[in-house]
Chains A and B, each alone.
Chain A
Amino acid sequence: MSWLIVGTVPEADYGLTWGSFVLRGREMLVGNRPLSVARGTPALMATAALAAQTLGIEAPQALIAGDTGTGEGSARLYARLVEGLGRCGYAGLTFHYLMPDVEWHNKILWGLEGLAHTPMLVADAGFMYAAKMSGFAAHYDLFTPDAGEMAFLADDTAPHPFYTRGFFLQEEERVPELIKAAHDGKNSARHLLVKGRVDHVAAAGRILSEVRFPDVPAMEPIGGTGDTLTGLVTALLAAGKPVPEACRIAALANRLMGSLADPDPSFGVADLLQFLPQALERALTLEGR
């Protein structure tokens, strides 16, 4: 069974597209239309496709729409997804850059949970914000926040990271406590992969493992390196890996990709992707898989 990536692309006139896609160098072809792999959902899609190829599994599909922040593309996409839920024979879905909207979120979640087979659910970026605000975070299998977003998940009242109280400057040091607070407040998915100087893999409010090396500080400012991590974990879950194992291998592979590329802070994510197959293979070997 395939996997569906759901997100937006930064072109206002990019129409709603649902189906398979192929990677061609620094571009993707979705149908006949090229899409630049710079950051955001296209970076996640490219990573998941490359990783799927390396793992020898079926390539994921995507449901995308153009949205430059008006929310119109996201709303069209939400409506199409709700309408097409009946034919959702996917093993899982990864939700990404989308306008946070609790009403649409709830329609989609309830629709997916009403299917004969409930797919595995992963949320990152805007859709994770909506999932937390909805009060149904615990219905998700995995969230992939960074340390700042972890502080948002831990803050009961914040509807968006923009309003997070406290912890702001110390959140990296307080990740374990934030993970527990988010779990206790029912604002966490069943598993968390918290991206940061140290990547944390957690389940039910408890840290299962940490990934610290290789440490490549220049990865933090590069836009899209969180998206590549979510793309990697998407492909590993699609390959059938258990969530904690998929998170750990993905975190290690993302770091190895950075180490192989040896970037400075001006690099783009497209400069890193050529190292992804080698990094993933090495991570699988190091993890004994």
Chain B
Amino acid sequence: MLLYPSTGEVIRAESALREAGVEAVVKGPPPDLRQGCDMVIEFCLMEEMRVREVLAERNLPPLRVAVVQDHLLEPVSLYHVKELGDFVMVRAANMKITVDRRNRRIVNISGGGCPDVPFLAEMLVGKTLDEAPEPRTLGRTLCGYALQLAFEEVCRQCRG
């Protein structure tokens, strides 16, 4: 697994690895490494050299590369979709995003507890799904990451 000093760097490293076609999965760290708002990137050990190359190219060197001894915590992977008249609300973990189906405009973001949530809401609410930045480009916490998952699902729900 790859360890970083902040969740924001984990989010950027995961994006870089995905873009490079490397299979990488975000998970919760083992108990002795938990501090509060944490995640690590799990990857196949056989790909370590390639992973290090991609991250070095993007100037995202990890704090540590460690071998996973136990099962890592799995992120929530189910979505809850609720229709509210012309609006659809999608929840992923503790984050909710609501879109007006008529014009694909994000009308509300709620839930969460980390400090990037109100910031992300300010950046996204009022924009259409096409105009809005992906939460992963601005988010730095687990709540921000959960909002990315909800954003991806609401895009699937509101395909033009």
* A interface, CB within 8 angstroms of B: 8-10, 38-42, 67-71, 73-74, 97-103, 105, 124-130, 133, 146, 148-149, 152, 157-165, 168-169, 217-218, 220-226, 264-268
Contacts and interface: CB of A to CB of B under 8 A. Distances in A.
Contacts of A128: 113
Interface in B63-78: 73-76, 78
Nearest to A124: B113
A269 to B, nearest CB: 9
Contacts of B13: none
Of A39, A133, A146, A268, the most chain B CB neighbours within 10 A belong to: A39
Contacts of A164: 76, 93
B99 to A, nearest CB: 9
B113 A97 contact: yes
A127 B98 CA distance: 25
Interface of B: 6, 8, 28, 31, 34-39, 73-76, 78, 80, 82, 84-85, 87, 89, 91, 93-94, 96, 98, 100, 107-122, 125, 138-146
B108 A126 contact: no
Prevailing SS type, chain B contact patch: mixed
A102 B115 contact: no
Given A8-B115, A146-B111, A162-B94, A39 B121 contact: yes
Contact of A68 (B109, B110, B116, B146): B116
A192 B93 CA distance: 20
A163 B144 contact: no
A266 B113 contact: no
B76 A163 contact: yes
Contacts of B119: 10, 68-69
Contacts of A67: 115-116
B34 A40 contact: no
A103 to B, nearest CB: 7
3 smallest beta-carbon distances between A and B, as pairs:
A69-B116, A125-B113, A100-B36
Contact of B110 (A8, A39, A103, A159): A39
Of A42, A103, A105, A168, the most chain B CB neighbours within 10 A belong to: A168
Nearest to A105: B36
A40 B118 contact: yes
A157 B70 CA distance: 14
Contacts of B142: 160-162
A147 B56 CA distance: 42
A223 B28 contact: no
A38 B118 contact: yes
10 contacts: A67-B115, A69-B114, A101-B35, A124-B113, A127-B113, A161-B94, A162-B93, A162-B94, A265-B87, A266-B87
Given A74-B115, A266-B107, 8 more contacts: A73-B115, A102-B34, A103-B35, A149-B113, A163-B28, A165-B74, A220-B96, A226-B111
A49 to B, nearest CB: 18
Given A69-B115, A162-B93, A220-B89, A126 B37 contact: yes
A100 B34 CA distance: 11
Nearest to A126: B113
A284 to B, nearest CB: 27
Given A159-B34, A162-B145, A222 B108 contact: yes
Nearest to B80: A169
Nearest to A146: B111
A103 B37 CA distance: 12
A99 B36 contact: yes
A8 B112 CA distance: 13
Nearest to A98: B115
Given A221-B110, A222-B110, A225-B110, A148 B117 contact: no
